[in-house]
Structure 1
Amino acid sequence: MEDNQIFRIALITAIIGLAGMTLLSDKVMPHKININEISKSNIGETVVIEGHVRTIESHGNKLYILSVIDNNGVMNVIIKDNLINEFKRNGQSPQIYVNRYVRISGKVIDYKGSIELELTDVKSINILI
């Protein structure tokens, strides 16, 4: 095979790959959503919200509940014990997010009829302001 043919094959493959990534990116990456738009139809999905952390309730070393508010609503974000331990190993505490504006990626869950967001990774919460 000549260099010119190899170059053409590589170029075509790259173009097809980039087109595929562009078309499928919204299916792979969690989408940002306003809190009031999250409903039971989103249960099991991973979504991204941005908002102000008003309060954090600590339930021992088992659970933290962050109350996050955006311009449209309020949502509880759950941090379970396995992530609390990971925060501690990293020398952090979820308390650092109180009164901060954050971006959170998490899984939509139903807890006793209430829609909540469960943090699935310590890297899924970032302070924006």
Structure 2
Amino acid sequence: MEDKKIFRLALFTTILGLVGMIFSANYITPQEVQIKDMDRGMLDKEVSVEGLVTGVSQSQKGGTYFLELMDGTGKTKVVIFESAASEIQKTSVNIENFNKRRVRIVGKVTEYQGSLEVVLKDASSLKIIT
């Protein structure tokens, strides 16, 4: 009899926890950071950064784009891999047009050749603000 009560309690607690996670998942947002506050402790963490695009370049193979993003506290590189870039361009938006525009991006902090950069999560993680 005791085992049945313990099992029911555990099952109820598990279901309640799962339902709570499902409902709260929509409210979990990435940490909003300023570029000056990005450090190696944030590697592989998802962040949200807002700033002015001061330059747009493309890889030599042409599939990957790089945005130079400045927020008044510092400057960082945003990497848009080919999969996200093609999704963005399917919406008739040319990535070159992000130059001199204020954007908000969500991506993962990574390090490349000693410099921190943000890899865009997906095409919907890049929003033009103005």
Coarse TM-score class (shorter-chain normalised): 0.7 to 0.9
Distance 2:80 2:119 in 1: 6
The amino acid across from 1:110 in the alignment is: E
Match of 2:106 in 1: 105
| Other-structure match for 2:36 | 36
Structure 2 CA distance for aligned equivalents of residues 54 and 107 of structure 1: 20
Q: Is the 8 A contact 1:61 1:84 kept in 2?
A: no
Corresponding residue SS for 1:29: coil
How many percent identity over aligned positions? 27
- Match of residue 69 from structure 1: 70
Question: How far does residue 88 in structure 1 lie from its aligned partner after superposition?
Answer: 2.4
1:72-105 deviations in whole A, cap 9, x for unaligned?
1000000111112212222222112110111111
TM-score normalised per structure 2: 0.76
Instruction: Kindly state the Cα deviation for residue 62 of structure 1 after the two structures are TM-superposed.
Output: 1.9
Corresponding residue for 1:58?
58
Q: Any unmatched runs of 5+ in structure 1? A: 1-12
Give the distance between the partners of 1:118 and 1:61, measured in 2 at CA: 17
Could you list the runs of 5+ residues in structure 2 that have no partner in the other structure? 1-15
Summarize the alignment of residues 1-129 of structure 1 with structure 2, pairs less than 5 Å apart.
Answer: 21=24, 25=27, 28-59=28-59, 60-129=61-130
Secondary structure of 1:72's aligned partner: coil
Q: Is the 8 A contact 1:84 1:93 kept in 2?
A: no
The amino acid across from 1:57 in the alignment is S
**Conserved? CA contact 1:107–1:117, under 8 Å:** yes
Q: Distance in 2 between matches of 1:90 and 1:36?
A: 32
